[in-house]
A and B are shown apart, each in its own frame.
Chain A
Amino acid sequence: MEVQAVQGGVPAAEPELAITLREFTLSDADAEAFMSWASDPRVVRFQRRPPLHRRPRPAAPLVPRHLRRRPPRGLHLRQARRAGPRGRRPPFMASVGYRVAREHWGRGVATRAVTAAADAVFAAWPWLRRLEAVADVENPASQRVLEKAGFVREGVLRQYIMLKGRPRDMVMFSIVDTDRGEHKQPVVETHGP
């Protein structure tokens, strides 16, 4: 999907960047962009995977399959299914994560990208009722991004996610469709007892 999110009327010391979201392509340019942040320890500090050291081989897909939907500035959207002890629940939830190359920090890129992503997926996915995101308790910058993007802070989940081998406390955020003034079709259960 293509989404334009150009924010006007914000005082800036430099020309406003146009933020666009698009899917990754299997191009050298995208692979280079991806490597520029995926190998930066400052960018991946609060990310599960360690920094990449090698660019993916040209003979193989330039971007690993599970990363294909990420735009070059590093935003990704995952359809999340929750599985309980009695089986999977129908999809109504998704989660969002994002990374921004270090040289683009401090200019509101992440906030605009996440805002645009939330708008895009609520428009594109009629089944979506909840979009959630987590931020490490020690990552206040990321927490501010989510708050400014309209996410509601729900609470701190202790020892919630493994980060580089250690469980971390995470702040849970969400946007639900009613936050956006939308009331969608009731969710239909697809499994039996």
Chain B
Amino acid sequence: MDHDVLPMPESTSMDTVTLRPFVLADLDAMMAWASDPVVTAFMTWGPYTSRDALLAFLRDTVLPHPWFRAVCLGGAVVGAVSVTPTDDRCRAELCVVLARAHWGKGVATAAPKRAVAAVFGDLDGVERVEALVDVDNAASQRALEKAGFTREAVLRSYCVVKGRLRDMVMYSFISTDPLVK
């Protein structure tokens, strides 16, 4: 896979974040964030405690998925971004997860920016990319807003996270929205 390998700047710019499909060899990198309870605190899944379970997920869900990408920073895999079609042909759901060591550097903004720049061309019929963020997850909300997503609504009692029913903020990026540079 080709990457631009650049010296790591102090603040990460969009240029150093790239997306590529996952391969089985990415398992260990995945384990770094998938096993981290702080990373998965707002997720409906995890934390993974078994490498075998994560391997099964990588092999059976990630590799055949229509749009699941590794987030790479200077060649290292630091997270994942997926866009999953829903029952409605026109809309797909975006999810972003990043290893904690790479929080606060702008990667969480760069990954969805890269995703929306590519996904409308890749997924036929999709006009809307939506993302659900826990009402208490201010950092992820800011990241999506900086990536050009529109905050549309708070959907109440919408997701079960770690055994609790949560209100979720709905964000969207539609195919005619301007890409943020």
Q: Which residues of A pack against B, CB within 8 Å?
A: 82-87, 89-90, 92-93, 129-130, 132, 152, 154-162, 167, 172, 174, 176-178, 186-189, 192-193
Contacts and interface: CB of A to CB of B under 8 A. Distances in A.
B178 to A, nearest CB: 14
Interface of A is mostly: strand
A156 B163 contact: no
Contacts, number: 104
Q: Chain B's interface: helix, strand, loop or mixed, by majority? A: strand
Interface of B: 44-49, 53, 57, 61, 65, 68, 82, 84, 86, 88-91, 93, 95, 127-128, 130, 150, 152-160, 162-165, 170, 172, 174-175
30 contacts: A84-B84, A86-B57, A86-B61, A89-B159, A90-B160, A92-B160, A92-B165, A154-B155, A156-B153, A157-B170, A158-B150, A158-B174, A159-B90, A159-B127, A160-B90, A160-B91, A167-B90, A167-B128, A174-B155, A174-B156, A176-B157, A177-B157, A186-B164, A186-B165, A187-B163, A187-B164, A187-B165, A189-B160, A193-B46, A193-B48
Closest 7 CB pairs of A and B: A155-B153, A167-B90, A159-B128, A154-B153, A130-B157, A86-B45, A176-B157
